[in-house]
Chains A and B, each alone.
Chain A
Amino acid sequence: MNRFQVEVRVKPRRGLLDPQGKATHLALESLGYAETKEVRVGKVLDLEIEAVDAGTAQERAEEMCRKLLANPVTEDFLVSVLGEVAG
């Protein structure tokens, strides 16, 4: 078994109202960052997953997303296997 560093990014679905993103966008504008055209606030989960290979780690993490980590009604997710954890 190897241990993989896996990053899960969960974002509000495109087109879905994101009040946190909107509020952050307004705050950036009021600080003078007028070039900001869109802000979406999501979350990042860092997982360490034991698996035989990177593909299996990826599959397992995607399954976790479908089951628990993301809500399919409101959120999209992206799983990236960043590499193996040393040791």
Chain B
Amino acid sequence: MKVAVVTFPGSNCDYDCYKALQLFPEFTPEFRWHREQDLGGVDAVFLPGGFSYGDYLRPGAIARFSPIMESVSAFARAGGPVIGICNGFQVLCESGLLPGALLRNESLHFRNREVHIRVETNRSPFTLAYEEGAILRVHIAHGDGNFHADRETLAELEGEARIAFRYVTPEGGLGAGSNPNGSAHNIAGIVNAERNVLGMMPHPERSVEALLGPTDGRGVFESLELHLSGSHAPLVHAATEAAPRD
């Protein structure tokens, strides 16, 4: 399974993603430079964290016009699994592949710490190996992670079970101290309507080796492995089954 890791000028988690992917023998990670036009025949795409283009203008605003992003968008719109982590999430929002935007943290502080997040849906190629409701210990490291969207969009995300992860207390609650950046509805990650594109602020790629701490991020990679090996029910089926919308 070939997985592209896109490197923008200023990406700094591209090697972390690459190394994390290498822990899973099924994956063959390959870097793609932002100037490349073509993703090539890959099975999934990672947009890593960092500060693409120095976060100038707005985080992700300039990266989304990189030549490679046209190919990433086409891949995503054709149903290919795409995950954006931290700055990658910001790029996905700027490019319109995901709704909403990521504002400056409410505290104005860069937050670099371990947090708890709850898996809200396992109907996505990056969460299907988790149990819904599972509480994960993962790291965040960002200054602009405060998810914002208008009321209708938030209602849509809630109604279609498109919130992938929510920040919670260690006990799994939404109370005081659970939200590290002021995100609407404690949102830490969302998926698109087709559920193949996921954006999240926490770094699952930093929580994959016991030597370095918790390994709760491994599920993201295990999910993708399951999804690509086809040993799991197709997403489209799962998505139409649920979706209680009127």
A interface residues with partner B (beta carbon < 8 Å)? 16-17, 19-20, 23, 68-69, 71, 73-74
Contact = CB atoms under 8 A, between A and B. Distances in A.
Contacts of B61: 68, 71
B58 interface: yes
Interface stretch (B100-108, B161-169, B172-180, B227-235): B100-108
B216 interface: no
From DSSP, what is the main secondary structure of chain B's interface residues? loop
A16 B108 contact: no
B148 A74 contact: yes
B15 interface: no
Nearest to A69: B57
A23 B105 CA distance: 12
A1 to B, nearest CB: 25
Interface residues of B, number: 21
Contacts of A68: 57, 61-62, 65
Contact of A17 (B58, B93, B99, B106): B106
Contacts of B214: none
Contacts of B108: 19-20, 23
Interface in B73-131: 93-94, 99-101, 103-108
A68 B93 CA distance: 13
Nearest to A73: B101
Contacts of A74: 101, 103, 148
Given A68-B61, A73-B101, A74-B101, 18 more contacts: A16-B148, A17-B106, A19-B104, A19-B105, A19-B106, A19-B107, A19-B108, A19-B146, A20-B104, A20-B108, A68-B62, A71-B94, A73-B93, A73-B99, A73-B148, A73-B149, A74-B103, A74-B148
